[in-house]
Amino acid sequence: MREAVIVSTARTGIARAFKGAFNDTDAPALTAHVVRVAIERAGIDPARVDDIILGVGTQWGTQGGNIGRTTVFAGDLPISVPGTTLDRKCGSGLTALAFAARGIMSGDIDVAIAGGVESITHTRNSHAPTYRSQPRIVVDGARHAYMAMIETAELVAERYGISREAQDAFAAESHRRAAAGQEAGRFTAEIAPMTVEKNVVEKDGSVSARETVTIDRDEGVRADTTIEGLARLKPVWKDGQIVKEGRFVTAGNASQLSDGASAQVVMDRETAEAEGLPILGIYRGFQSAGCAPEEMGIGPVFAIPKLLERAGLTVDDIGLWEINEAFASQLLYCRDHLGIDPETLNVDGGGIAVGHPFGMTGSRLAGHALIEAKRRGVRWAVVSMCVAGGMGSAGLFEIPN
């Protein structure tokens, strides 16, 4: 069987939803940008792309209508390039990468673009579809199938004894690591700077002006974040339009609402080597596993062992971990339950500091893991995340010497 390798990666900087750089940029503009740059970095003819596979967390509005295909039009790519879109919520970008790799390994395709996108700004609004969006038959089968993610994080914290203090300490460390990563330029190789027009949004939500900005870094990283400052934030969560008081989860120890896109070029290893293309990493496996919907945050504790067992590896064999920080509560539980060394986990921060555009995150984590693992001389890297609806996903990559 052929081996699938990643030969390039590109992503936008991650912008804060609603007030950030991409608050007037449609999702196809984001995906077109990163796909074009990924192709340029790989140095291949766009006409060679057999398929574009993109993941999104919400398939409506600006990212509806099969964004895998609309990216071809927005990016002025050859009309012969097809595209498709998939939805595994927060695992979408990683799933897209796995599906592309599997297509190459089977011999069905030779070159693919995989990635993900989320424009939370343009999908979380009053125009989001709600008609029959929570079918009774689903709720009868799983009472918590549509539970708000923040509520699941509260439940995980309570059921597994993850203290508010531990969550705030983890969040502060995420910002510290991300700020150090930015300062050292450890995100530079993956980010494709993008110049856009944005709306200047005032505190009351009104638009006061327009401005041109270039985003070349992640907007949400705050180097001055402290545990003391985080401790002052009030935990709340919303159930529809009803605001309820929580005990653990705050805006400070949960992932940020964000906009962004990411993409990789995936191809057959033999061809890549023959053409002298840089091999960032070799795809070695992908697994997903289900869990109780109300505990969706612990999904990685089921997906990761499944992945490692099939690969004949153990937790101690993995030199670098990128596990999405949807909420500090679930990440802490997963880390400690699996026995992961904190010094090898999210070494440059994660979603709490960097941001979490749902469909993009899996692709972003993979791209960063490949680059950072190479820099550290690590052989094995695992990317994982919890997934809405009660799942976990995990991918394994081998880094060539």
**CA distance linking residue 20 with residue 121, whole number of Å:** 9
Dist. CA 132–CA 382, nearest whole Å: 37
Whether the Cβ atoms of residue 286 and residue 397 lie closer than 8 Å to each other: no
Task: Using CB atoms within 10 Å of the CB of residue 271, give its burial: 0 to 12 exposed, 13 to 18 middle, 19+ buried.
Answer: middle
Identity of the amino acid at 113: I
- Measure the CA–CA gap between 140 and 117, rounded to whole angstroms: 32
Is 334 annotated as catalytic?
A: no
Identify the active-site residue in 33, 90, 122, 368. 90
Q: How far apart are CA 167 and CA 163, in angstroms?
A: 6
Please spell the DSSP secondary structure of 167-189, one letter per residue. HHHHHHHHHHHHHHHHHHTTTTT
Q: Distance between CA 281 and CA 110 in Å, rounded? A: 16
Going by the DSSP 8-state scheme, the letter that residue 375 receives in this structure is H
Residue 187 one-letter amino acid: F
Beta bridge partners, 285, equal: 396
Q: Using CA atoms, how far apart are residues 83 and 72, in angstroms rounded to an integer?
A: 7
**337 has catalytic annotation:** no
Catalytic residue among 33, 122, 356, 368: 356
Task: Map tokens 């940029």 to a residue.
Answer: 25
311 in Cβ contact with 318 (< 8 Å): no
Q: What is the DSSP letter of 290?
A: E
C-alpha–C-alpha distance, residues 77 and 337, integer Å: 45
291 catalytic residue (yes or no): no
Q: Which of 195, 199, 206, 204 is nearest to 24 (CA)?
A: 199
Residues identified as active-site: 90, 356, 386
